[in-house]
Amino acid sequence: MPQGMPMPKWVYKDTRPSTDVEYFSNMTRCIFQGGLNWVMIANKWPNFETAFDNFDIDKVAYYGLEDQARLKNDAGIIRNRQKIMATIENAEEFNRIIRDHGSFQKWLDGLDKSNNYKVVIGRLKSRFKRVGSSTAHIFLWSVGEPIEYDTSVFTRRPKKIA
């Protein structure tokens, strides 16, 4: 975060989410923020919460064609088909993790966090849709994990305007 800017409310600094829904919501937010203006996402986030049933993992995991069509036509959210589908598929993966480990946090706590979370990032990338290295780093940071900023991951530079 740039110095002097307040920490966004969705970032868990010095604490961690207390529910699987909060982890799922943060992951979804990080996915939708990818490549977009964070302020725009912040302004639309209440619409996302409504559109995705407050990120109720069970409900989102069972979204069918009608729900997909509703989301793709909802002007209050970002209507990116791939990110919408990733959210639904990621809810299904959250359910698998919760079933197998009791909670997302227990699963996360059971992973090797050495070498600046290298294994954790790999597992997030392999298990969840639309989660690459940058998204994984931002997600882990946003849920209060003490991951260090990695300049090899954040390589994009702003283009000069002629």
pLDDT tens digits, 3-48: 566 788 889 988 999 999 999 999 999 999 988 888 899 999 999 9
Q: Would you say residue 123 lies in a domain?
A: yes
Structural domain including 112 reads 20-142
Q: What is the pLDDT of residue 31?
A: 97
Q: Would you say residue 126 lies in a domain?
A: yes
Q: Would you say residue 85 lies in a domain?
A: yes
| Domain of residue 57, CATH code | 1.10.340.30
Q: How far apart are CA 139 and CA 98, in angstroms?
A: 18
As for how many domains the chain has, the answer is 1
Mean pLDDT for the stretch of residues 121-131? 97
Mean pLDDT for the stretch of residues 127-156? 85
Mean pLDDT for the stretch of residues 122-140? 96
As a whole number, the mean pLDDT across the chain is 91
Q: Would you say residue 134 lies in a domain?
A: yes
Q: Would you say residue 33 lies in a domain?
A: yes
Q: How far apart are CA 81 and CA 129, in angstroms?
A: 12
Q: What is the pLDDT of residue 122?
A: 97
The answer to whether 21 and 55 have CB atoms below 8 angstroms apart is yes
DSSP-based three-state secondary structure for 147? coil
Confidence (pTM): 0.89
Q: Please report the sign of the dihedral spanned by the C-alpha atoms of residue 26, residue 28, residue 30, residue 33.
A: negative
Q: What is the pLDDT of residue 131?
A: 97
